[in-house]
Amino acid sequence: MKTISHQEFGGERPLYAEKDLRLEHVIIHAGESALKETALIEAQGCRFEGKYPLWCCKGFKVKDCLFTEGGRAALWYSEDLDMQDTLVEAPKMFREFRGARLRGVRFTHAAETFWSCSDIEIDSVQADQADYIFMHCNGIKVNNFTLNGNYSFQWSRNVEIRNSLLNTKDAFWETENVTVYDSEINGEYLGWHSRNLRLVRCHITGSQPLCYAEGLVLEDCTFGPDADLAFEYSSLEATIKGAVTSVKNPRSGSIVAGSIGEIIIDGNLKAPGNCEITCNVRAHLPG
């Protein structure tokens, strides 16, 4: 493997189509597509300032690196990445990407990151300013993830999340086959129009969660007091520890909760309208 150490590059495609190359403490200055169409690349302690640096790449490792804001849209149309202990200040980092493993990575401006990606594993990662992260993805495994950004995981399929903190409005819309374990999810309008969303030992806050859902499952979850008007038009099987502020027009299935402050069943209830609700406090039925 050829090694380039302590050098600087800029301009258009300075390392185009390189193969079997190790970069040590290299700086990629302003320009475009520094490492486009490359393969078997290792980058250690490098700084990426120019945009589109790693497009159409196959097989690369990134460790202790920095992607500045200028290094935006860095990882598109590529596959097979290991990234560790790296700071990413740039948005739109991953598109049409297959096979990435990230550990100890911090995204400070992760807007529109991970679009149309597959086979992604992340562990001990934080993503801030992360609106529209993980759109149209398939096959995502997440552990110890801190997310600050809205509209996350929309239209994604086959996702598993564990031990995470998700501060995100409008999360999991139109998703399919998503399971979240032992996590906290804060944000309004969680999981609308989802299919086969399963939440296990999760804490949920934010108004109108989990409406219009099909095949929804909750196991030993807890709700914050602002998580009101839950489950409208959803089919579900839910066990909830403690109190739920209010439930509105669940469509079918069952809900078991410690207590429910208000159950709203009105003339807009959709068929079959036979959800069985069990709690320790008698429901208030308007009218």
**213: domain range?**
54-278
DSSP per residue, 229-242: SBTTT-EEEEEEEE
Structural domain count, the chain? 1
pLDDT in tens, 83-102: 999 999 999 999 999 999 99
* Residue 36 lies inside a defined structural domain of this protein: no
* Residue 267 lies inside a defined structural domain of this protein: yes
Distance CA 235, CA 18 (A): 53
Reported pTM: 0.94
* Residue 11 lies inside a defined structural domain of this protein: no
Distance CA 49, CA 68 (A): 5
CA distance to 2, 160, 183, 245, 249, per residue, from 113 (Å): 31, 18, 21, 35, 36
* Residue 89 lies inside a defined structural domain of this protein: yes
* Residue 123 lies inside a defined structural domain of this protein: yes
DSSP per residue, 23-72: EES-EEEEEE-TTTT-EEEEEES-EE-SBSTEES-EEEEEES-EE-GGG-
* Residue 16 lies inside a defined structural domain of this protein: no
Tokens matching residue 126: 């934080």
* Residue 90 lies inside a defined structural domain of this protein: yes
* Residue 254 lies inside a defined structural domain of this protein: yes
pLDDT of residue 281: 55
Has residue 144 got a pLDDT over 70? yes
Q: Could you tell me the pLDDT band of residue 18, with boundaries at 50, 70 and 90?
A: very high
Which range has the worst mean pLDDT, 92-101, 208-217, 228-237, 278-287? Answer: 278-287
Distance CA 102, CA 281 (A): 46
